[in-house]
Amino acid sequence: MDWTLGKTCATLQLEFQGPAELPLRRVTGLDDLAPGTVAFVNKAEALQDLEPAADCVLVVPEGSDYSGCALIFSSHPLSDHVRLARLLHPGPQVSGEIHPAAVLGSRVKIGKNVTIDANVVIGDDVSIGNDCVIRPGSVIMEGCDIGQGCLFYPNVSIREYCSVGNRVVLHNNVSIGADGYGYFYRDGMHNKIPQIGTVRIDDDVEVGASSCIDRARFSVTHIGEGTKIDNLVQIGHNVRIGKHCILVAGVAIAGSTVLGDGCILAGQVGIIDHITLGNRVRVLAKAAVLDSFPEDDLVLAGNPARPARLWQRMLSRTQQLDSLFKRVNALEKQK
């Protein structure tokens, strides 16, 4: 669909300044302005230093006064820039059809307007809700329950009897429900513990490429509503993650750990097994969480992780050890 400034603002119910027939082609950042592009600024003061290209558009705070280019007025420019991105860049068009090269098992239930691409394998007794898109090479094994409006990119693997909520996005090579890492040592060897639980993913979760969420030993590994998981994240068996958490790339969470709602784990955070974190706990990059912190609203850092201010004081003092050693050594020589 071709979008103009007037048609776009009418669709999004936003006020604008400029020629209604101006074509809009793509959204961009301020460093990449060109004719037909749309960028945003959060503060009207930022407009004073801009030299926009001809026929570009800026999403600006309501009440902004600027004549350098066309404007779209917004109470939250970032949010409306995202709405514009979804409008101008709707993603690949889907067919709503099942490719002849897909393989479907027995008693599969498929909703309306579902797209299943080539070389997808769907096991027996699987249920898939309306408006789902399953890209090539993905596998959904027997007994799985998939909600509505889900998007699974190529080579997603969902093992048996897992459940996925509505509007869940799984990126390339995501693994859901592989066996948890469970063994016991006896008679000189590691003996496998059967992993007979499952995985439940709630609504509006997104999981980045090549991330793994293991099935529970017993019961369920649970990912709460609205949680966003980056690439290359490992979530062990029986982990429970609350609502609206953020897990950045390289995070590793060992089994039976519990995260409250709204937690943020920065890149390469590691958490050992059977740890509990409270609500809205933030763990800074590369921290190693070796103890539970059930209190809410903490900021943790370091190895082993401690409240961030304490860790900073400890780090500062370790940097003073060399001078302290020299002072003590000098005092010893004076005796």
> CATH number, domain at 190?
2.160.10.10
pLDDT digits (tens, 9 = 90+) for 60-97: 999 998 888 999 999 999 999 999 999 999 887 788 99
What's the pLDDT score for residue 169? 98
Q: If you average pLDDT over residues 177-197, what whole number do you get?
A: 96
Indicate whether 178 and 34 sit together in one domain: no
The catalytic site residues sit at: 237
* Number of domains making up the chain: 2
* Burial class of residue 280, CB neighbours in 10 A (0-12, 13-18, 19+): middle
Indicate whether 49 and 169 sit together in one domain: no
With cut-offs at 50, 70 and 90, classify the pLDDT of residue 297.
very high
pLDDT digits (tens, 9 = 90+) for 106-130: 999 999 999 999 999 999 999 999 9
Secondary structure of 3-47 in HEC code, one letter for each residue: EEHHHHHHHHCCCEECCCCCEECEECCHHHCCCCEEEECCCHHHH
Indicate whether 119 and 84 sit together in one domain: no
Indicate whether 84 and 186 sit together in one domain: no
Whether pTM > 0.85 for this model: the answer is: yes
In the chain, helix, strand, coil percent, each to 5? 15, 30, 55
Indicate whether 115 and 205 sit together in one domain: yes
Indicate whether 277 and 141 sit together in one domain: yes
Which residue reads 């020589």 in tokens?
333
* Residue type (1 letter), 104: L
Determine the structural domain holding residue 36 and report its residue range.
Answer: 3-88
- The answer to whether residue 48 is domain-embedded is yes
pLDDT digits (tens, 9 = 90+) for 232-273: 999 999 999 999 999 999 999 999 999 999 999 999 999 999
Q: Which domain-ending residue is among 33, 60, 88? A: 88
Q: If you average pLDDT over residues 163-192, what whole number do you get?
A: 97
Indicate whether 128 and 197 sit together in one domain: yes
CB neighbour list of residue 14: distance below 8 Å, 6 or more residues apart: 72, 73, 74, 80
Mean pLDDT, rounded, of the chain: 94
Q: Is the pLDDT of residue 326 over 90?
A: no
Query: Which contiguous run of DSSP H or E holds residue 159?
Result: none
Q: Is the pLDDT of residue 32 over 80?
A: yes
Contact in structure between 238 and 218 (CB atoms under 8 Å): yes
